[in-house]
């Protein structure tokens, strides 16, 4: 019998944490179930009713929980969820940027050290800010671009991904490999989600609780 992968020893605890996240998200959905979501405004017109960056953050947390609740033998299912999560985590930059007022955009630009023209459609100052302050999001950017575009012109040779094929808890885990060290993608996503939650709170962004499309429970 093969020895457990030491790099994934924390996976059990991480899975438990994500299950708790999933339960909290489901509780949020119940709380907001029945609240009408307008699809007529710009924010929700092309996003099936998601209206704010906090809505997208809840989506991210929900999908993070889905990784742990999906059976291990469903390797492709867990792979698909990991793909969706890293894309959502990085593209929070687009949604958050739209909700920043001009004064906050100027502050972000100053902190990021960029000199772009401040346009609603150009989140590059926030993206640079995120890269500088969140290694997890910087990694999510690389994975999101790699997964969307399949091949990158400036690919980082020190970063790769795989699905584990060990035994028991070491089977069917999406992991990120940086300089030879394996990290379960759930840990990266937890760090990214926590950074966004802290940023939204500290910068007073989208403080209204999210509206979640309800279903029957």
More confident residue, 217 or 2: 2
Q: What is the mean pLDDT of the chain?
A: 82
Distance CA 77, CA 56 (A): 21
Q: What is the pLDDT of residues 85-134, one digit of tens each?
A: 999 999 999 999 999 999 999 999 999 999 999 999 999 999 999 999 99
Q: Which pLDDT score, from 0 to 100, does residue 58 have?
A: 93
HSE-CB of 165 using CA atoms within 13 angstroms = 3
Question: What mean pLDDT comes out for the span 188-192?
Answer: 97
- Cβ neighbours around 103 below 10 Å, total: 8
Q: What's the whole-model pTM score? A: 0.77
Distance CA 176, CA 91 (A): 19
pLDDT tops 80 at residue 15? no
Q: How confident is the model at residue 151 (pLDDT cuts 50, 70, 90)?
A: low
Q: Which pLDDT score, from 0 to 100, does residue 207 have?
A: 76
Q: How confident is the model at residue 40 (pLDDT cuts 50, 70, 90)?
A: very low
Distance CA 36, CA 33 (A): 9
Q: What is the pLDDT of residues 172-182, one digit of tens each?
A: 999 999 999 99
Q: Dihedral angle at the C-alpha atoms of 110, 156, 158, 170, nearest 10 degrees?
A: 90
Domain borders along the chain are 11-24+47-202
């Amino acid at each position: 019998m093969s020895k457990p992968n030491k790099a994934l020893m924390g996976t059990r605890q991480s899975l438990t944490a994500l299950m708790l996240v999933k339960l909290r998200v489901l509780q949020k959905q119940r709380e907001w179930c029945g609240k009408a979501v307008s699809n007529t405004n710009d924010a929700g017109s092309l996003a099936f009713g998601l209206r704010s960056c906090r809505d997208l953050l809840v989506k991210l947390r929900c999908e993070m929980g889905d990784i742990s609740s999906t059976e291990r033998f469903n390797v492709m299912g867990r792979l698909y969820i990991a793909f969706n999560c890293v894309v959502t985590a990085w593209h929070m930059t687009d949604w958050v940027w739209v909700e920043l007022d001009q004064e906050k955009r100027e502050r972000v630009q100053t902190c990021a050290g960029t000199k772009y023209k401040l346009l609603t459609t150009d989140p590059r100052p926030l993206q640079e800010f995120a890269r500088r302050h969140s290694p997890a999001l910087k990694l999510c950017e690389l994975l999101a671009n790699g997964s969307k575009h399949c091949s990158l012109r400036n690919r980082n040779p020190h970063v790769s991904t795989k699905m584990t094929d060990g035994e028991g808890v070491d089977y069917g885990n999406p992991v990120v490999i940086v300089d030879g060290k394996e990290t379960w993608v759930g840990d990266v996503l937890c760090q990214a989600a926590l950074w966004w939650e802290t940023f939204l709170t500290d910068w007073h962004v989208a403080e209204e609780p999210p509206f979640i499309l309800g279903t029957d429970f």
